[in-house]
Amino acid sequence: MEFEKAMSRLAEISEQMSGGDISLEESMKLYAEAAQLTKQCREYIQNARLQVEKLEASE
């Protein structure tokens, strides 16, 4: 999933969970999805950071 789409989905999940109108079971599913998306975003950012460092090192 693209970084921007993952961040957008995280925002949606946050809104849903903040609303308080969902069941505990649904909250747990959303939490698990958010945790996975957060991991993906962190990995994407780390990879981007490494790419920038390589580019700076080659200058």
Specify the DSSP element, H or E, that contains 54: helix 24-57
Residue 10 tokens, joined: 């995280």
In this prediction, residue 58 has a pLDDT band, given cuts at 50, 70 and 90, of confident
- Residue ranges making up the domain that contains 18: 3-57
Q: Tell me the whole-structure pTM to 2 decimals.
A: 0.83
For residue 2, the model assigns a pLDDT of: 93
Q: Which amino acid is at 14?
A: S
The tally of domains found in the chain comes to 1
- Give the whole-angstrom CA distance, residue 32 versus residue 42: 15
Q: Does residue 20 register a pLDDT over 90?
A: no
For residue 36, the model assigns a pLDDT of: 98
